Each structure stands twice: as C-alpha cells, then as structure tokens.
Amino acid sequence: MSIIKVEDVAYVRFRAPDLDAMEAFLIDFGMVRAARDNQTLYMRGTGTAPYVHITELGDPGFAGVAFRASSRGDLEALATSQGTTVESLNAPGGGHVVRLTDPDGFSVEAVSGQQTVSSIALPTRESVNDSRAHPRTDAVKRIPQGAAHVVRLGHCVLNVSDFRRSEAWYKERFGFITSDEISLGEGAPSIGAFMRCDRGETPTDHHTLFLAGLGQAKFNHAAFEVADMDDLMAGNAYLKSRERAHEWGVGRHFLGSQIFDYWRDPWGYTVEHWTDGDLMRASWGSRVSSIQDLMGVQWGMPMPPTMG
C-alpha cells in the first residue's frame, strides 16, 4: 500500500542565469507566461493548470518535479509519514506543498489545492479526411503557422543510479503503477520502468514518470502534450525557423505510442512535444518490454545517442 496516490504530474522546475532567454525559448516552444518577477518565471499551457514550467534565476540545472495530490489530507498523510510539514505554496494559484528528496537527491514535491485558471482556446480544425471516411466537403484545411500549443505537462523522465531503489521510493509514496518494465533479457536485471498514476477506472497516461537506471543520476527530459499532430508538425517547422536546437523526431514511440518531437532548451535540457498517447486504467495491469521496444520507433527517426 502506498501512502498516497497522486493524480498527475504538476510541473517541472529549472534554474537558468537568463530568464529572458528561457522565456523566449518557451514561447517559441508553445507556452504562455503565467507570472514573472526578478527571480522566477512561471509558464503555463492552454489547459487549466496555473503553470507547468518554473525557471528560477541561478546557475543552470534541473531543480525538481512536482506531482498533484488529490487533497490537503493526502499531503498531511505524506508529510506525517516522512517527518516533514505541509507548507503554503507561494506561487500562482496558491495551494499547499510537501517537499521531499528522492534517493538520488532530486527535489520532489507533492501539491494540492492549486486554483485552476481559464483554459486558452485551441485553434479550430476542419475534419480529417482519410480512406475510411471523408467528412470534410467543400472546405479546405489550413494549419496556422507559428508555435505549437502546449496544453499540459504529461510526464518526466529521470535517470537514476539504482532503479529498484528509486522505483520502491516513488511507488511507496505516490502509488505509481508500472505500465512497462524494461528488461535486458532473460536472467538480466531490469533497467527501468514507465509508471502511471493509479486512478482506478479513470484512464490515465501510459506514463507520468519513467525511471531509467542508467548509472548516473540526472534529468532526462520533460514532455508536454500539444493540440494534435498538425500542431506538433507546425511547431516543428516554427522551432526550426527560429534556429532552436532539435534533438529527435518526428516519430511514434512503441511504449506509450506517442507521436514525439524532442528539442533542447538554451542550456541543453531536453523538452518534448507529444500527441496521441495511450491511456490505461489501473486494471490494464503491467507488462515487461524489451530494450528494443524502448529505443525503437514505429516510424520516424531512430533514437540518437544524446537521449541517454
């Protein structure tokens, strides 16, 4: 039994020496400023979360990830079990937070009670004509040029020094369920797992957290859902026109099935656009998958060595 069961990932936190440069990149990436002062930049998507990305002024680095708990009561239970306290969250939307440190020293927060914000309308789309149906008649399809539209944060990937130790830590505190465990073959140890939130019969993303036991603990990437495939492709073209650093894509994963496109922020940290991912109920269970499933694509570019 876990202490609590989180509902989703809430935000990622970074440090950077230039908030202007980070904001300019994130606007090109498809986010919108939520708030900013001399020390901190908060960026949101088109969804109802008050923010999905935080940048604090300082030396460049990954500063942590937060998960959304269902209630203040869950935060109290978590804080009591970990010998810490529930604090007020001094950020847009308010709320409360419990701050923990995982076995590799990553800052991990659990938050609840944040006030939602009004969603931002996504571009309207004409219907899709394919070989099975042709609903669009006497109408042309035109995709607006410009940045993609980030809707929400979907998942975070962390490289960890000891996969089983980190897996136990996150599952015991936050109730994650393994969707796909990555095996190196019969008799070999597993090296990681895609884990989803346990929301019972409510479908949830195939993975909210992926732990990769690759030896050196470090941030791997954060992934943001965009409106649809046309939005992702328009964003790809726009980021290239802005001469942003492209890393991998476009393609479709095996595990999670997302259409993906990976970019680097001005300090080299990887952020992903994705759309059309799998959703699973708790009853779907868990699988063991291969390293080939992890690294392979259903179509698109092969994984570059920089993604490790």
Residue 235: the pLDDT is 98
Q: Looking at the whole model, is its pTM more than 0.95? A: yes
Choose among 26, 116, 109, 24: nearest CA to 68: 109
Residue 192: the pLDDT is 98
Residue 108: the pLDDT is 98
Residue 152: the pLDDT is 98
E-only strand ranges, 69-212 = 87-88, 96-101, 107-112, 150-159, 177-183, 190-196, 204-205, 209-212
CB of 273 closer than 8 Å to CB of 259: no
Mean pLDDT per segment of 10 residues, for the chain of length 308 residues?
A: 97 98 98 98 98 98 98 98 98 98 98 98 94 96 96 98 98 98 91 98 98 94 98 98 98 98 98 98 97 96 88
Q: Is 116 helix (H, G, I), strand (E, B) or coil?
A: coil
Looking at the DSSP bridge assignments, the partners of residue 182 are: 192, 289
Tokens read off for 145: 């040029």
Tokens read off for 119: 């969603």
Half-sphere CA count of 174, side-chain side, radius 13 A: 30
Q: How far apart are CA 231 and CA 76, in angstroms?
A: 40
Nearest-10 crossing angle of helices 163-174, 72-82: 130
Q: What CATH number was assigned to the domain covering residues 8-116+148-303?
A: 3.10.180.10
Residue 215: the pLDDT is 83
Domain boundaries, the chain: 8-116+148-303
Angle value at C-alpha 245, between 242 and 249, nearest 5 degrees: 105
